[in-house]
A and B are shown apart, each in its own frame.
Chain A
Amino acid sequence: MRRINSEQSYGWLITCPALLVVAAFALYPALESFVLSLHRIYLGLPALGSPFVGIENYMLLLQDPVARQAFGVTFGFVALSTLLELVLGLAIALVIHERFPGRGWVRAAVLIPWAIPTVVASQMWRFIFNDQYGLANLLVFGEHVSHYLPWLAYPEWAFLAIVLADVWKTSSFAGLLLLAGLQVIPEELYDAARIDGASTWQRFRTITLPLLKPALLTALLFRTIDAFRVFDLVFVMTQGGPGDATQVIQFYGYKTLFAEGQVGYGTAISMAVFVTILVLSFLYIRTIGSTLLTRVHS
């Protein structure tokens, strides 16, 4: 019993440094943000001080049409990009799960969009959608130069361009999460189904899809949470434009907080993003995390 106790304190001792860094640079700032969101602070007007205003910033947020638009754009972006990433990710996972010569190379090729810095991917897609020298115009209109479109200047196309860039960048990550799910489906099930004369499609429908459900849910929630935080793509490709067509919530928060110096209101926006994501991650931990936690724990 004594040994267990001293072992336990030793365990905490060697865990502590990591937890302290996380507490200082992630947990404390999040709490501090909440406190700031209850104050009225304009960096440009220090004479006003920083009076406590309770939930005033949150009331403002509820009436702010720009914030509502930004939340709408973000939800649209999350829904469309996550859906496409799951479908393409599933296709990728099914392909790289198969055994064939050169599979290692195919897996490496699929990983490359994931490894490329998001800023590089964003500049690349911005150039692809360039109004004059872009690949998109070349592929769609070929030699008909007079038809060339400034894609990123149209609200709908700019939105779709950002979705496309995100789908290209992260489908392979969704694919890897689904691959992990495919790898634990016992091969015998497929053999048995084959003997019973099930077609490829029937095997996919009755074995792969149902058994892949936990992995699909994991990938869905991982991607949803990550897509909610989209920033780099918007910063580089559109700066939120044209108009506010691609102004996602994290970009709006960034502008309010850092460009306009509205610390109180900006942190209130960030808390709204935070709460949305927290709800999603609780969903994640409750549905899937618990099995993982018991696995590491037991």
Chain B
Amino acid sequence: MTRTPAERVLLGVGIVFAVLGSLFPFVWFVLTSLKSPLAVEAIPPTWWPDGNLGFYRSALAEHQLLAYVGNSVIVAGSTTVLSLALAIPAGYALARIPMAGKSWILGGLLTISMFPQIVIAGPIWQLLNRLGGLNTHWGLTLPYVALTLPLAIWILATFFKDLPLELEEAARVDGCTVWQTLYRVMIPLATPGIFTAAILTFIYAWNEFFFALLILTDPAKQTLPVGLALFQGEFTMPWGELAAASVLATLPLIVLVLVFQRGIISGLSAGAVKG
């Protein structure tokens, strides 16, 4: 594929703008996190940090950042495990087993994934209040599982659908039950799809704010987004500490994106048009 000089210029400009536009605002926040308290409050602002890790230290020591991280790991981790454990069999059945009315189920799941949070928030709060699930991690995990299942099922159903039928048929001829076929043959083949669904579920649960805000009012239980949204200093807004905490909260996600870029892109477009 050869490009005309004009196309080469256009592509170059596009690449520069895409990369700069995506990274520049966040890089500014990273630079802020590396400044000293005096440099953060300089007017006009300075560009370069004076290479100070103090904000990271105080974010960890005084703003209980590690507790938020721990809570987020617990909630996002258990959401991912539970959601996938339920979505894998469901996605397999909906893709491969002839079942009456399954297009209604898939359409219904798509609709549910578009529910605005406020519509289900009140009754969920009441339900958890009755069950004793407010201010607990399982109380937040359950709605997260319900809200991530539609996308996970869609990704997995699309993935199972594309696997070759022959292997499955061979397993069935050899006398495997549906369950054995799923666990011995299909799941190993579907590992990339499962990975993609897991990453997207994890990122959703790691980033979710609305339900976390309602369900976790006890600061000791709060996840990172709630901690960062309600971040406050004693007298002034501690921008430096906030920037440092934000950078730390985002690091795991940046690592995930760098490592699994390909899977994320194919997973996100699973809901889009293909042919």
List the interface of chain A (C-beta within 8 A of B).
4, 7-8, 10-12, 14-15, 17-19, 21-22, 24-30, 32-33, 36, 91-92, 94-96, 98-100, 104, 106-113, 115-120, 122-125, 127-128, 130, 132-135, 137-138, 141-143, 145, 148, 168, 172-173, 176-177, 179-181, 184, 200, 214-215, 218-219, 222, 225, 228-229, 231-232, 235-236, 250, 253-254, 257-258, 263, 266-267, 269-271, 273-274, 277-278, 280-282, 284-285, 288-289, 291-297
- A118 B86 Cβ-Cβ under 8 A: no
11 contacts between A and B (CB under 8 A): A14-B92, A19-B90, A30-B119, A95-B14, A104-B262, A112-B257, A132-B41, A177-B269, A218-B273, A232-B225, A281-B110
Chain B positions 1-34 with a Cβ under 8 Å from a chain A Cβ: 1, 4, 6-7, 10-11, 14-15, 17-19, 21-23, 25-26, 28-29, 32
Asked if B235 is an interface residue, CB under 8 A from chain A, the answer is no
- Beyond A18-B86, A180-B272, A250-B118, is A115–B254 a contact (Cβ under 8 Å)? yes
The answer, among B1, B14, B41, B118, for a CB contact under 8 Å with A253, is B118
* A94 closest partner in B (C-beta): B14
- A117 B11 Cβ-Cβ under 8 A: no
- A25 B273 Cβ-Cβ under 8 A: no
- Beyond A119-B228, A235-B229, A258-B214, is A10–B118 a contact (Cβ under 8 Å)? no
- A11 B118 Cβ-Cβ under 8 A: no
B176 to chain A, nearest CB (A): 12
| Interface SS of chain B | helix
* A175 closest partner in B (C-beta): B18
B residues near A127, Cβ cutoff 8 Å: 29, 32, 239, 242-243
* A252 closest partner in B (C-beta): B118
A residues near B268, Cβ cutoff 8 Å: 173, 176-177
When chains A and B are docked, how far (Å) is the Cα of A285 from the Cα of B97? 23
The answer, among A143, A235, A288, for a CB contact under 8 Å with B273, is A288
- Beyond A115-B253, A281-B110, A291-B273, is A176–B243 a contact (Cβ under 8 Å)? no
- B89 A18 Cβ-Cβ under 8 A: yes
A residues near B271, Cβ cutoff 8 Å: 177, 218, 222, 292
B residues near A33, Cβ cutoff 8 Å: 119-120, 122-123
B209 to chain A, nearest CB (A): 5
When chains A and B are docked, how far (Å) is the Cα of A231 from the Cα of B207? 13
- B118 A277 Cβ-Cβ under 8 A: no
- A18 B120 Cβ-Cβ under 8 A: no
- A95 B11 Cβ-Cβ under 8 A: yes
- Beyond A26-B115, A109-B19, A120-B246, is A17–B269 a contact (Cβ under 8 Å)? no
Extra 10 A-B pairs, beta carbons < 8 Å, given A21-B145, A295-B275: A15-B93, A17-B89, A26-B146, A91-B14, A95-B18, A124-B28, A127-B243, A135-B25, A232-B229, A257-B118
A residues near B161, Cβ cutoff 8 Å: 295-296
* A119 closest partner in B (C-beta): B225
When chains A and B are docked, how far (Å) is the Cα of A222 from the Cα of B113? 11
B residues near A274, Cβ cutoff 8 Å: 115-116, 119
When chains A and B are docked, how far (Å) is the Cα of A117 from the Cα of B228? 10
Query: Quick check: which of B54-62, B150-158, B190-198 contacts chain A, the rest being far away?
Result: B150-158
- A200 B18 Cβ-Cβ under 8 A: no
Asked if B134 is an interface residue, CB under 8 A from chain A, the answer is no
B residues near A123, Cβ cutoff 8 Å: 228-229, 231, 242, 246
The answer, among A22, A91, A254, A281, for a CB contact under 8 Å with B18, is A91
A residues near B123, Cβ cutoff 8 Å: 28-30, 32-33, 36
B232 to chain A, nearest CB (A): 12
* B161 closest partner in A (C-beta): A296
When chains A and B are docked, how far (Å) is the Cα of A173 from the Cα of B146? 22
- A22 B146 Cβ-Cβ under 8 A: yes
- B107 A289 Cβ-Cβ under 8 A: yes
- A19 B239 Cβ-Cβ under 8 A: no
A residues near B203, Cβ cutoff 8 Å: 115
A-B pairs with lowest CB-CB distance, top 10: A180-B269, A11-B97, A25-B146, A29-B123, A14-B89, A29-B120, A32-B123, A18-B90, A95-B14, A11-B93
Asked if B75 is an interface residue, CB under 8 A from chain A, the answer is no
- B149 A21 Cβ-Cβ under 8 A: yes
When chains A and B are docked, how far (Å) is the Cα of A11 from the Cα of B264? 28
B residues near A218, Cβ cutoff 8 Å: 271-273
